[in-house]
């Protein structure tokens, strides 16, 4: 899927919502625990109830790999269940020396057929370029993350006053283009989102941090929306754990719909 196709999905669904599938076995309703694959059964219901409001799904790989081979199996089944027109993100935060990155890319783009993967920029170009060699696949590079600790390194100024995340953006935008490279920009970063947008006007952002982390959707749209929307705003816990009982799927759908409605208003306001 290219950026034009993504934008056309956003327009037709009036949504730039990414649903995060951070499925924790301890939080799955009791009645599902009897199933052969409770994680998949949970995800299936979440997808059934949210697909009409979502343009992307983002399983966080940690939740699956923590369960060993069974977790990878649940992940694969989940990936196959996601409707084909919806963008998929492996939130794996990989990146290593070139030959190792190449195998990470094969794992997520060939063995599994994800559209994109999150990658850490810290090891530089030879750790990122192997992912970009895969046709019709995307790298989503960590730029300005939503967590508190992002302040430890990402906003440190160099001697000329440039912040580290700005150096990452300036360098990395040469490695790819708006059809194969996105950036992770936290919803909790307020006006700094505008600084990211100024440096990469046409790239999509994956924006975690609304919902459970308290980031503002209005600020994200105000500071981050581009001519082609350029935003995929993720909510994981706020959607998938909105309900605790048998009606968890319905409750997730209601949360997703609420966000979609807010997004429709923001698309009207800022596009
Ligand atoms: O800067 C980042 C990068 C990734 N994440 C991931 O996004 C989701 C957020 O989950 P919520 O439950 O909506 O808070 C989760 O998978 C994180 O690992 C992030 O939060 N911030």
CA distances from 256 to 59, 84, 99, 234 (A): 16, 19, 39, 10
Q: Which domains are delineated in the chain?
A: 3-270 (3.20.20.70)
pLDDT tens digits, 174-215:
999 999 999 999 999 989 999 999 999 999 999 999 989 999
Q: Would you say 4 and 180 are in contact if contact means Cβ atoms under 8 Å apart? A: no
- Ligand 1 pocket residues where CB is under 6 Å: 20, 22, 60, 91, 145-147, 184, 186, 208-209, 211-213, 234-238
Please report the pLDDT score of residue 233 as a whole number: 98
Q: What is the DSSP letter of 181?
A: E
Nearest CA to ligand 1 atom 16: 60
Dist. CA 206–CA 208, nearest whole Å: 7
Nearest CA to ligand 1 atom 5: 208
pLDDT tens digits, 128-182:
999 999 999 999 999 999 999 999 999 999 999 999 999 999 999 999 999 999 9
Q: What is the pTM of this model?
A: 0.98
Dist. CA 15–CA 176, nearest whole Å: 26
Indicate if 70 belongs to the active site. Answer: no
Q: Would you say 129 and 171 are in contact if contact means Cβ atoms under 8 Å apart? A: no
């Amino acid at each position: 899927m290219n950026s034009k196709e993504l934008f056309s999905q956003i327009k037709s669904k009036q949504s730039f919502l990414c649903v995060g599938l951070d499925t924790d076995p301890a939080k799955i309703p009791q009645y599902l625990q009897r199933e052969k694959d409770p994680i998949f059964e949970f995800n299936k219901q979440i997808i059934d109830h949210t697909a009409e409001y979502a343009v992307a799904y983002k399983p966080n790989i940690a939740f699956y790999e923590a369960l060993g081979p069974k977790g990878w199996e649940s992940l694969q089944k989940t990936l196959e269940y996601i409707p084909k027109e919806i963008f998929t993100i492996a939130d794996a935060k990989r990146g290593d020396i070139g030959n190792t990155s190449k195998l990470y890319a094969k794992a997520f783009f060939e063995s599994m057929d994800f559209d994109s993967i999150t990658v850490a920029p810290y090891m530089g170009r030879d750790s990122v370029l192997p992912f970009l060699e895969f046709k019709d696949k995307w790298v989503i590079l960590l730029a300005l993350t939503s967590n508190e600790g992002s302040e430890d390194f990402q906003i440190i100024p160099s001697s000329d006053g440039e912040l580290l995340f700005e150096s990452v953006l300036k360098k990395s935008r040469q490695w790819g283009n708006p059809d194969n490279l996105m950036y992770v920009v936290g919803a909790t970063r307020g006006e700094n989102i505008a600084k990211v947008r100024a440096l990469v006007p046409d790239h999509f952002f994956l924006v975690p941090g609304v919902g459970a982390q308290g980031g503002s959707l209005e600020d994200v749209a105000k500071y981050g929306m581009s001519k082609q929307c350029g935003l995929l705003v993720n909510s994981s816990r706020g959607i998938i754990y909105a309900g605790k009982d048998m009606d968890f799927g319905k409750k997730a759908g209601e949360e997703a719909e609420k966000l979609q409605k807010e997004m429709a208003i923001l698309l009207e306001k800022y596009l």
